[in-house]
Structure 1
Amino acid sequence: MTTDNDKSRPELPKDADVRWWDPGNEALADRRKAVQLELIIKAFEGIGITVVAYPPDRPLEEAVYLYREGTVLTRDVDAPRVYRVLGLEQQDDKTRAGRGRAVAGLQVIEVPADKLGSTADVLARLDAALGAGVATPDHVLHITTSSCCPATEPLPSAGAPVPGINPDPDSDGAGVRVSVVDTGVLPAVVAEHAWLTGVTGQPEPSGIGHYTGHGTFVAGVLRTMAPAAQVDVDALMIVGGAVLESELAHDLGEVLEGMPDIISMSAGTRTRGGRPLLSLLVFWEERLRHIKGTVLVAAAGNDGDRGPFWPAAFPWAVSVGALDADGSRAGYSNHGSWVDVYARGSDVVNAYPKGVYTYQEPPLQGQQANFIPGLANWSGTSFSTPLVSGLIAARMTWSGESAREAADALLVEALANARPGVGKVLEPGMADPPVL
């Protein structure tokens, strides 16, 4: 991304509306997935961390998830058994403290390949000895399209935000604090758009790649539903738009120190065996469940199937799938009994950095577009998620409910608005106070 606004730059290619998730485009979807995962792997390689895809020794387009090679996760209580099975000397707290940020209840154990073989082999050995799930990989959570968001690369747009800004002062999100867990915020973009005024957070660092501006865009979508909410964007997905789950568990603990009402997370991953992310399960048990009223709203992911996507699939999270502009379920959106609600996620328009963008993924790979107006059209469950987070904040303004109570009440409204072939649906305006 540059800040060059030269109008002589190439305009958006004519084939920009190709939808990779439509039937018949499976080969295109596979190519996109391989590009996305390769970019993440290279980003971690740049900071000295080896990330690999599962299953190993298969093309990237067949990958189920990414994880860190050379480490496994386990609970503190299970650590002695894991060390014993692997024939390793258990490290004390002082030794472990020098190898990463501590998370209460969780241990990150090094499993050197020269002694124990690959991490996949180590986990198979531990499964056989202790049972599946006692030890897990250190998964990579990401905002990329292969297994989360966005479902498209951004397209230039003009005009006004879509969905539009909530005009009701009685449901403007005033008094509600939201933490957007994402890539960080771009202050220059915030300064250019009135609906972003007051959005704060950690500046988005360089190295985000083609997800530059994702956190600011997400904050903008949330603000359309709750224009007076206090929105802080935490820069946690900063390695090519991704983060290790063990790091995220620690960072979410720091997010909670700010006592947000709502945590909005447009990221996640598939997992080994479809089991819950151990680090975030421990985070829930040790931290989040002890803070009454705070709610995590998470993207259901963009695989277009029924498989669980974490952390959205946790029963204590509000999981959000995506709708197309016509109200039908988006073809890319994950779905199934674990998805709580669906909201507009396709062709969402909001704030985006001005300048020339070079496309990284098929079908536009290598082509360019100029974002002269500072707005983008973007699609994915990344953007249905902040819409729902914003509706929760909007309802809280007039109802006096906690975020958890407001979310539960909106899910009741969404059930009354359910659609065949889709499920429970939330739309702008459904968080407004009742007309008496």
Structure 2
Amino acid sequence: MAPQRFREQFEQIQRSMPDVPLAMGPDDAGEFLYEKGVVLARDGEEARVVEDTVRQHFTTFAGLAPDHVRRTSPETNRSGITRIRVADPGQGDGSGDPAVAGALRALSATEGRAGRRLVSRNHVVSIAVNACPGDEPVPVPVGERPNPAAAEAAHDPDSAVGVLVIDTGLMHDHRSYPLLAHTRGDAQVEECDGEGVLKQYCGHGTFIAGLVAAVAPNTDITVRGTLNDAGAVLESEFGEKLFEAVDQDGWPDVISLSAGTSNGRTDGLLGVDAFMRELREQHTLLVAAAGNNGSATPFWPAAYASLPGYENAVLSVGALRADGEFGACFSNHGAWVSAYAPGERLVSALTGFDTPVPYVYQHSTYDACRYGFSYACTCRYPRHTGVLSEEDGSAKPDQVMFEGLAQWSGTSFATPVAVGMVAAHMTAQAQTDPRKARRQLLEANTEFAEVRGAHVPALLPPTWRPVGASLPSVRA
């Protein structure tokens, strides 16, 4: 059976959120996921306008009872967002939601008069390797060094750059990896299932932290498990969770965020609007993954880098393929992506340092690149068979053992490489302003790559090495 990566992940995420009926959008195109029967509005007067307009529209044109439309969350959250129920979320399947689409249409004229967006779907925000993953982790031989390798720089607590990784939590044995000895934060929830098999995406945050520490050893890294639950959270909750992450220790120098969603729009994500406005007033630089849909559609929050007022506050990062000369097949792209960094077949810390840990693949590889590329990309190599792709039992899924380091691909991992480049620049130049460091780094950059015909900035760490075309199967 040919793999259908997005649909496989739709079912996986739905299982992780059993009480939240989900749909694909727009319509059945499989570009993003969202909560059925619910729309979002800003608290206060705008929520009232949305509620009244939708109620009138549905009563007049759709024959729904007025009490179908009602607010389902209090107007007290810091992100300033209210959930408004517009229909029974249990109706229909996951191929779009006509009631939500109708609510969006009902507000279109009102939004035009107001001069700004009033309503939104409640999108699912996921780690950028989740709803359309670059690939799954692959074991590397014991003794292989990380890639990028550790830079020759000392960790100095007095001058270290503060980095906050918002992702999945830290694996229990992360301190066994020397580069993460001083990393702190939240523990990964439920690393393995009842049979001792590593769960999908566990180790994602640890892998990211390892990449930051390799490129920029003089960093104080904190990992928050904001996305521990299969890497997915509703937009209505995401802004609040971002606030909680920064509130624990204060605003850091740099935030590494390998999560987001597209929404079919070019004006941002309603659920994170309050957080992004507060970020703009801080000194913090947000470095965010561009996403793995192989698309030019803006992916949020990364695409804020292209919006007026956020140019210096956000660095959006796409992924280069293993040779560093071209874009990875899966990487999102477009004028809203600030720069690209290596994001294919990187090697960093995962788990199994103390005791080897088994993992069963969830997705099968493709016979041909799903984005139409001809190079030996991660769509096809290393070859493996996955549980979600072979639910009819036609083939046995592959199992591997992790013993510390792993190889992994995605814009999720290009992002911490770019974080490390910014932090290393801050240390080398005694720069205390991460936003100035962002600008200086890009202005001084002399490396470029080709992405979909465009000549783009390539952030290549000195210790990163291109990976050759030797691509063995993971099967024993």
Q: How many residues align?
A: 389
In the alignment, what sits opposite 1:277?
Answer: 269
Contact kept? 2:292, 2:330, Cα under 8 Å: yes
In the alignment, what sits opposite 1:383?
Answer: 413
1:65 aligns with 2:32: yes
The residue identity in structure 2 corresponding to 1:225 is: V
Q: Once the two structures are superposed, what CA deviation does each residue of 1:337-368 show, in whole Å capped at 9, x if it has no partner?
A: 11111111111011112211101111221423
1:1-400 matches, cutoff 5 A:
31-45=4-18, 48-56=19-27, 58=28, 62-76=29-43, 77-87=45-55, 96-97=73-74, 102-113=77-88, 118-131=99-112, 133-143=117-127, 145=129, 150-158=133-141, 159-169=144-154, 174-188=159-173, 190-206=174-190, 209-257=199-247, 258=249, 259-285=251-277, 287-291=278-282, 293-315=283-305, 316=310, 317-327=314-324, 328-354=326-352, 355-363=357-365, 364-366=385-387, 367-399=397-429, 400=431
Contact kept? 2:79, 2:271, Cα under 8 Å: no
Q: Unmatched 5+ residue regions in structure 1?
A: 1-26, 431-436
Distance, in Å, in 2 between the alignment partners of 1:113 and 1:128 is 25
The residue identity in structure 2 corresponding to 1:52 is: A
Distance, in Å, in 2 between the alignment partners of 1:173 and 1:111 is 53
Q: 1:160 to 1:344 in 2, by over 3 A?
A: same
The residue identity in structure 1 corresponding to 2:9 is: Q
The residue identity in structure 2 corresponding to 1:82 is: V
The residue identity in structure 1 corresponding to 2:403 is: P
Shift of 1:369: 3.4
Distance, in Å, in 2 between the alignment partners of 1:196 and 1:362 is 32
RMSD: 2.9
Q: 1:360 to 1:91 in 2, by over 3 A?
A: closer
Distance, in Å, in 2 between the alignment partners of 1:31 and 1:80 is 40
**Helix, strand or coil for the counterpart of 2:318?**
strand
Shift of 1:49: 1.7
The residue identity in structure 2 corresponding to 1:428 is: P
The residue identity in structure 1 corresponding to 2:38 is: T
The residue identity in structure 1 corresponding to 2:77 is: A
Shift of 1:267: 1.1
Distance, in Å, in 1 between the alignment partners of 2:109 and 2:228 is 36
Which of the two has greater helix per residue?
1
The residue identity in structure 2 corresponding to 1:164 is: A
Distance, in Å, in 1 between the alignment partners of 2:420 and 2:276 is 22
Comparing 364-373 and 396-405, the one that deviates more: 364-373
Q: Once the two structures are superposed, what CA deviation does each residue of 1:111-159 show, in whole Å capped at 9, x if it has no partner?
A: 34389973232222222544483200111111254655x4011111131
**Helix, strand or coil for the counterpart of 2:4?**
helix
Higher relative contact order (CA 8 A, sep 6+): 1
Q: 1:199 to 1:232 in 2, by over 3 A?
A: same
The residue identity in structure 2 corresponding to 1:241 is: G
The residue identity in structure 1 corresponding to 2:358 is: V
1:410 aligns with 2:441: yes
Distance, in Å, in 1 between the alignment partners of 2:220 and 2:153 is 17
**Helix, strand or coil for the counterpart of 1:393?**
helix
Contact kept? 2:128, 2:258, Cα under 8 Å: no
**Helix, strand or coil for the counterpart of 1:210?**
coil
Distance, in Å, in 2 between the alignment partners of 1:103 and 1:51 is 25
Contact kept? 2:340, 2:459, Cα under 8 Å: yes
Q: 1:146 to 1:119 in 2, by over 3 A?
A: same
The residue identity in structure 1 corresponding to 2:245 is: V
Distance, in Å, in 2 between the alignment partners of 1:207 and 1:78 is 42
Distance, in Å, in 1 between the alignment partners of 2:7 and 2:239 is 27
Q: 1:67 to 1:301 in 2, by over 3 A?
A: same
Distance, in Å, in 2 between the alignment partners of 1:339 and 1:43 is 30
Shift of 1:262: 0.7
Shift of 1:376: 0.8
**Helix, strand or coil for the counterpart of 2:347?**
strand
TM-score (norm 2): 0.75
Q: Once the two structures are superposed, what CA deviation does each residue of 1:362-406 show, in whole Å capped at 9, x if it has no partner?
A: 122142333343111101111010011111111222322311111
Distance, in Å, in 1 between the alignment partners of 2:224 and 2:298 is 25
Contact kept? 2:260, 2:301, Cα under 8 Å: yes
Q: Unmatched 5+ residue regions in structure 2?
A: 56-65, 92-96, 193-198, 366-384, 388-396, 464-476
In the alignment, what sits opposite 2:473?
Answer: none
Distance, in Å, in 2 between the alignment partners of 1:429 and 1:171 is 21
